[in-house]
Amino acid sequence: MKRTPGKSARTALTDNATGWLMMLPALAGLTVFVVAPFVLALGMSLTHLRMGSPLGAQFVGFEQYLRLLQDASFQRALINNALFALGVVPVQTLLALGLALALNRPLRGVAVFRTLFFMPVVFPMSLVAVVWILIYAPGPNGLLNGVLGALTLHHWQPRDFLHDPHLALPAIMLTSIWQGAGFQMVILLAGLQEIPRERYEAAAVDGAGPWQRFLHITLPGLRNPLIFVVIVTSILSFRVFDQVRIMTQGGPLDATTTVVYQAVQSAFDRAQAGRGAAMAVVFFVIVLAITLIQRRLLRTEREVR
Amino acid sequence: MRRVALKIIHYGLLLGAALVFLAPILFMLAGSLKPDARVLSEAGSWRALVPDGITLENYRAVLARTPFWHYLLNSLLINGLIVGLGLLINSLAGYALARLRWRGRDAVLGAVLAILVIPFEAIAVPLFYQLSLLGWRDDFSVQIAPFVANPLSIYLFYTFFLSLPRELEEAARIDGAGPLRTFFTVVVPNARPVFASVAIVTLLFYWGLYLWPLLMTTGPAVRPLPLGIATFFTLPPLHWGQILAFGVMMVAPVLALFLIFQRGFVRGVASSGLKG
Amino acid sequence: MRREPPVSLSRRAMLGSLAALPLAAMLGGCRSGTSKLSARKPTLEVWAHAGQVGERRTLVRLADSFNAGRRRFAVHLTLLPEGAYNGQLQAAALAGQLPDVFEFDGPYTADYAWMGQLQPLDELLPATLREDLLPSILSQGTYNKRLYAVGQYDSGLGLFARRDRLTAIGASLPTSPGDAWTVEHFEDLLARLAAATGNRPPLDLKLNYRGEWFTYGFAPALWSAGGGLVSRDTRPPHAGGVLDGSKSTAAMRHIQRWTAAGRVDPNLDDAAFTTGRVALSWVGHWEYPRYRQAVGRDLALLPLPDFGEGARTGEGSWTWGISAGCRHPEAAAEFLRYLLQTSNVLAMSGANGAPPATRSAVARSPLYAQDGPLRLYIEQLAEGYALPRPRTPAYPAITSAFQQAFHAVRDGAKVPETLHRAATLIDRDIADNKGYPNREAVRG
């Protein structure tokens, strides 16, 4: 950032004090409520600390981490988080892209549809999860079972979605996609509207078909928002918690357990604060890795432009 | 002719998608309006979405069983302060990082970007421990203070201020205004979109917060709306109709805000993504 | 009378200014509104779980009538939702903000006592009262030879049945825990009941419940098979060889067979028994008022099936303790004595159907007297059929591991591996905490 020449040294001095002054409230908040607990987590993760124990905390080195690496449930949680990301990120992004493309036309009623698709975003996840428990209700009385029964002319065998080891995670993924797709759609729609119309007109003059226009104009034009959407969704995939706690409690057979769910369960159900803290640290490392990859991608993108 | 056909297909697809998106919401609304026992027994038929006959009994029961208005006021107060204070201190920080030159700025910017990566879930356990040891719990402040300073908000403000043309500020500063005054008189009025989008994203995130207030508060005097649902969930027998009615009442304020300020809402969310 | 040492206040103020949120400190002041009662009388803070309607109303009424009496102290009752009740207590304990008197789930007595959060009650309650309490109440409240908690009621666990459904398939109903059905006979009856209703599930296991229910409700199956959660006679206890032993494994295999064969109603609406979908409901006393209203005289109470070594059942329920930080233990004890007056014990028992905690109340209870409809629970408690859940500070780890194992088994996991993993988790928690030595040993 270059400063315009001709400013007095006095302004620079004022900026020095004012800069810190303006930064201070936020910095203090972040220090007390983010940095301090994170450092505390690092410390706790090296102990066997049990909440409220008169024994205090004993230093055990990396024991908690070694245990996590060998723990089948925790491995399962890592895999589930990855599966969740691998499933939700492409499906939700494609769905959002499709909706955005469909709405990016001068049609009557577009605003109404946009409102409808966005509406689930304003529902808190804890409420969404409760409603979807009923939607997934087992037996022919469940909404989804009923719909599938009607669509297949009653050839569908009603399932207990949330207790089926193969269906529970996809069920939670579907719930999350329903709740989140509208958010991404809006971002992509705004991106579409930033693409200059002239580019399409020029391409049409050159005889490019719709598919080619999509490949060569729309996709490159959407690159920035698309990367943003993909990154945010994959980070959120690792933060999945509310749905799991309310809908399946990690079951059946750990099919839906996640890293955050296990951390909260360790710390609050079993009072094992040390173990919970170690999980939180592992979680942080994963999210950090995703973010670093994001920075990389964004940087190359900026260079391209 | 082909155009009309395409249009019909287009609308058909949109309508189909809209129905899928709408069905769970309709299901919730319909369920809240019918007698408790029929919520689940009719869930497999089309009556799940269209009740025959409407009763407000569930809503009456919710109002009788929980101090709903009280919870609502608490939620409004808590979220209002998280959003309001957050806008103030995070925009100041974003501006200082984007426009002012001060010693240590680059280091602080780096730190904020690093903190951006730490999600609340990762620090919830130690933060809970830390605040509990300090004896700080069960009031409004413990539900607000941890969420006011927000690295994502700072980042959104920072990128927005970077993209703002500098001319206005420079004119103001040549006229002798200090950075603070420049910020409040020149920058803020030109930065409404980013304020709106930060406010919205913050509100969407914190309105439904459940676990934190559950653990950190005891008295109904300070508890927010989402905890009301615990009242229904933990007292068998389950009254699904009442649970759904409570859900409708819980989401109604945000939904109303959304429908009224739809354009700003959508634009705000969109710009939060584009600037990233 | 919320205990707020000046230290924590100043620390909070410091933190507030650190965060540059003077408002926070100001808002913090609002909290005194929660405990604003009469300014003249000193007040005891009391926390309880928000149980079912009748239970809640009765407790509120008892607190009101206590306050109406001419006493030196008033009580201020706060009801907390049951879902995360223990988590909320742990948080308050950590913050040093437990109220003067609080209710908690019986098996957590050892945990709270070990953490030093409770005051012993031996000297606070008169001997006559302690002698009047049922032995199961005394043993539930005792840790390390001291009494730390007393409950107004115990609990009863069994099968509620629709008599006509069972007689229709020619089953004979056991009348005492001694002649409980064998588990094989029980499975045969389930098959016949299902056949009589077009293969609909005939059994409700309250799979819709959360948390502690699964340990309370199904540890008895393990005991009845000769197994258990952890060893009973060793100090510290261990789960290896017990929870994953052949007897516990056999019991859990039976339960898995029921769910796998489609004999168990998922009961999402908690109305499987009241609407007549199932003929049998495996549940505690708290459903008696609702079931009785729905089924009427056709309702029968039966012992749980015998898994091999005699019928077993659960005991223990919500209980009251005085926090270590309470500065007026005599006043708090006065409130507990009030709760334990025969008429008040009976009022609560009438509201929630639970077995009254004192002998004198049992004798006068229409539900539990000699020919009362719930007499079976008293027989179970008095004749050794009921067992307490493990009384150790490791209980949070034990119950969490067992609940997880139960759900895995329900969903079809391999039983031996599942139980072995749960046992390993428990034993590791015990080892991590050095076998949970007594506080005295810790200090010394």
Position B232 scores a pLDDT of 73
Contact B16, A132 (CB under 8 A): no
State how far the Cα of C162 lies from the Cα of C164, in Å rounded to an integer: 6
Three-state DSSP class for residue C226? coil
A31 contacts in C (CB within 8 Å)?
18
How close A106 comes to chain B (CA, Å)? 11
Whether the per-residue pLDDT at B234 is higher than 70: the answer is: no
The answer to whether the Cβ–Cβ distance between A32 and C396 falls below 8 Å is no
| pLDDT interval class at B178 (50, 70, 90) | confident
Position C16 scores a pLDDT of 36
Chain C's closest residue to A60, CA to CA, is: C432
| pLDDT interval class at B273 (50, 70, 90) | low
What's the longest Cα–Cα distance across chain A? 82
Chain B's closest residue to A232, CA to CA, is: B273
Q: For residue B33, which of B212, B250, B249 has the smallest C-alpha distance?
A: B249
Relative to beta strand C43-50, strand C74-81 is parallel
- CA C166 from chain centre, in angstroms, equals 30
Whether the per-residue pLDDT at A84 is higher than 80: the answer is: yes
Contact C243, C419 (CB under 8 A): yes
Contact A276, B125 (CB under 8 A): yes
- Consecutive H or E run containing C160: strand C157-162
Position B53 scores a pLDDT of 80
Percentage of chain C surpassing pLDDT 90? 75
Q: Is A25 on the interface with C (CB under 8 A)?
A: yes
State how far the Cα of C401 lies from the Cα of C394, in Å rounded to an integer: 11
State how far the Cα of C341 lies from the Cα of C336, in Å rounded to an integer: 9
State how far the Cα of B25 lies from the Cα of B33, in Å rounded to an integer: 13
Whether the per-residue pLDDT at C296 is higher than 50: the answer is: yes
A residues 155..174 contacting C (CB < 8 A): 160, 163, 165
The answer to whether the Cβ–Cβ distance between B128 and C209 falls below 8 Å is no
pLDDT digits (tens, 9 = 90+) for C138-155: 999 999 999 999 999 999
Q: Is B29 exposed, middle or buried (0-12, 13-18, 19+ CB in 10 A)?
A: middle
State how far the Cα of B246 lies from the Cα of B264, in Å rounded to an integer: 27
Contact C25, C16 (CB under 8 A): yes
Position A130 scores a pLDDT of 87
The length of chain B is 276
Whether the per-residue pLDDT at A2 is higher than 60: the answer is: no
Chain C's closest residue to A51, CA to CA, is: C94
Q: For residue B250, which of B272, B227, B273 has the smallest C-alpha distance?
A: B227
Whether the per-residue pLDDT at A233 is higher than 50: the answer is: yes
Q: Is A68 exposed, middle or buried (0-12, 13-18, 19+ CB in 10 A)?
A: buried
What is the per-residue DSSP string for C229-286? Answer: SS-SSSSS---TTTTTSHHHHHHHHHHHHHHHTT-EE--TTS-TTTTTS-SEEEEEGG
Relative to beta strand C157-162, strand C101-105 is unpaired
What does the CA dihedral C420, C421, C424, C425 come to, rounded to 10 degrees?
-150
What's the longest Cα–Cα distance across chain C? 75
Position A105 scores a pLDDT of 84
Least confident stretch, B110-114, C279-283, C386-390: B110-114
How many Cβ atoms from other residues are within 10 Å of residue A26's Cβ?
30
Whether the per-residue pLDDT at C298 is higher than 50: the answer is: yes
The answer for residues whose C-beta is within 8 angstroms of residue C178's C-beta and 6 or more apart is: C311
The residues with which C76 forms a beta bridge, in sequence order, are: C45
Hey, which of A128-137, B55-64, B255-264, C235-244 has the most confident mean pLDDT?
C235-244
Position A9 scores a pLDDT of 44
The answer to whether the Cβ–Cβ distance between C18 and A251 falls below 8 Å is no
Position C414 scores a pLDDT of 95
Least confident stretch, C9-18, C58-67, C141-150, C207-216: C9-18
Whether the per-residue pLDDT at C7 is higher than 60: the answer is: no
Position C282 scores a pLDDT of 98
Percentage of chain A surpassing pLDDT 70? 93
Contact A233, A92 (CB under 8 A): yes
The answer to whether the Cβ–Cβ distance between B247 and A130 falls below 8 Å is yes
C residues 13..32 contacting B (CB < 8 A): 15-16, 19-21, 23-25, 27-28, 30-31
Q: How many CB pairs under 8 A join B and C?
A: 134
Position A298 scores a pLDDT of 67
Position C21 scores a pLDDT of 35
Position C25 scores a pLDDT of 34
Whether the per-residue pLDDT at B176 is higher than 90: the answer is: no
Task: Name the residue facing B216 among C15, C51, C91 (closest C-beta).
Answer: C91
Q: For residues C194-212, b (16+ Cβ closer than 10 Å) or e, as one string?
A: beeeeebbbbbbbbbbebb
Three-state DSSP class for residue C400? helix
Chain B's closest residue to A120, CA to CA, is: B21
Position A200 scores a pLDDT of 87
Three-state DSSP class for residue C370? coil
Relative to beta strand C386-387, strand C142-143 is unpaired
What is the per-residue DSSP string for C287-307? Answer: GHHHHHHHHGGGEEEEPPPB-
State how far the Cα of C267 lies from the Cα of C259, in Å rounded to an integer: 13
Q: For residue B183, which of B247, B74, B270, B99 has the smallest C-alpha distance?
A: B99
- What's the mean pLDDT when you consider all of chain C? 88
Least confident stretch, B253-267, C167-181, C420-434: B253-267
Token digits for B114?
């690093």
pLDDT digits (tens, 9 = 90+) for A247-300: 898 878 899 999 989 998 888 888 888 999 999 899 888 888 887 887 777 665
**First vs last C-alpha separation in chain B:** 43
Cα atoms found within 13 Å of the Cα of residue A253, Cβ hemisphere only: 15
Whether the per-residue pLDDT at C417 is higher than 90: the answer is: yes
The answer to whether the Cβ–Cβ distance between B43 and A141 falls below 8 Å is yes
Position B265 scores a pLDDT of 67
The answer for residues whose C-beta is within 8 angstroms of residue A211's C-beta and 6 or more apart is: none
State how far the Cα of C82 lies from the Cα of A126, in Å rounded to an integer: 17
pLDDT digits (tens, 9 = 90+) for B188-212: 998 888 898 889 888 888 998 888 8
Position A6 scores a pLDDT of 44
Q: Is A208 exposed, middle or buried (0-12, 13-18, 19+ CB in 10 A)?
A: middle
Q: In what order do the strands lie in the sheet with C299-302?
A: C264-265, C203-204, C280-284, C157-162, C299-302
| pLDDT interval class at A224 (50, 70, 90) | confident
The answer to whether the Cβ–Cβ distance between B221 and C87 falls below 8 Å is no
How close A49 comes to chain C (CA, Å)? 9
State how far the Cα of B247 lies from the Cα of B229, in Å rounded to an integer: 8
State how far the Cα of C322 lies from the Cα of C334, in Å rounded to an integer: 11
A residues 78..117 contacting C (CB < 8 A): none
Task: Name the residue facing B125 among A23, A229, A267 (closest C-beta).
Answer: A267
Whether the per-residue pLDDT at C420 is higher than 90: the answer is: yes
Residue A46 identity = L
Q: Which residue has the higher pLDDT, B216 or C444?
A: B216
Residue B22 identity = L
The answer to whether the Cβ–Cβ distance between A251 and C408 falls below 8 Å is yes
pLDDT digits (tens, 9 = 90+) for A100-112: 999 988 888 888 8
State how far the Cα of C240 lies from the Cα of C429, in Å rounded to an integer: 12
Three-state DSSP class for residue C79? strand
- CA B73 from chain centre, in angstroms, equals 16
* Number of helices (H), then strands (E), in chain C: 19, 13
The answer to whether the Cβ–Cβ distance between A54 and C433 falls below 8 Å is no
Instruction: Tell me the mean pLDDT in the region C44-69.
Output: 91
pLDDT digits (tens, 9 = 90+) for C312-360: 999 999 999 999 999 999 999 999 999 999 999 999 999 988 999 999 9
Q: Which residue has the higher pLDDT, C192 or B276?
A: C192
Contact C86, C396 (CB under 8 A): yes
Q: From its phi and psi, is residue A243 left (phi > 0), alpha (psi between -120 and 50) or beta?
A: alpha
The answer to whether the Cβ–Cβ distance between A138 and C439 falls below 8 Å is no
Q: Look at the block and give the residue holding tokens 């598919």.
A: A211
The residues with which C3 forms a beta bridge, in sequence order, are: none
State how far the Cα of C108 lies from the Cα of C393, in Å rounded to an integer: 7
Q: From its phi and psi, is residue C12 left (phi > 0), alpha (psi between -120 and 50) or beta?
A: alpha
A residues 66..95 contacting B (CB < 8 A): none
Whether the per-residue pLDDT at C275 is higher than 70: the answer is: yes
Whether the ω angle into residue C135 lies within 30 degrees of 0, i.e. cis, is no
Q: Where are the beta strands (DSSP E) in C53-106?
A: 74-81, 101-105
CA distances from B60 to A97, B68, B218 (A): 42, 11, 25
Cα atoms found within 13 Å of the Cα of residue B59, Cβ hemisphere only: 14
Q: Look at the block and give the residue holding tokens 């009752």.
A: C77
CA distances from A12 to A15, B125, C61, C82, C413 (A): 5, 42, 69, 59, 68
pLDDT digits (tens, 9 = 90+) for C238-274: 999 999 999 999 999 999 999 999 999 988 888 899 9
The answer to whether the Cβ–Cβ distance between A253 and C413 falls below 8 Å is yes
State how far the Cα of A232 lies from the Cα of A85, in Å rounded to an integer: 11
Q: Is A156 on the interface with B (CB under 8 A)?
A: no
Instruction: Tell me the mean pLDDT in the region A2-22.
Output: 64
Residue B67 identity = P
Q: Is A192 on the interface with B (CB under 8 A)?
A: no
How close C227 comes to chain B (CA, Å)? 31
Contact C149, C121 (CB under 8 A): yes
Q: Which residue has the higher pLDDT, B74 or A232?
A: B74
Q: Look at the block and give the residue holding tokens 């990566």.
A: B117
Query: Which of B39, B123, B159, B248 is most worth mutating to test chain A (most A CB atoms within 10 A of its CB)?
Result: B123
Q: For residue C323, which of C105, C88, C47, C61 has the smallest C-alpha distance?
A: C47
The residues with which C45 forms a beta bridge, in sequence order, are: C76
The length of chain C is 444
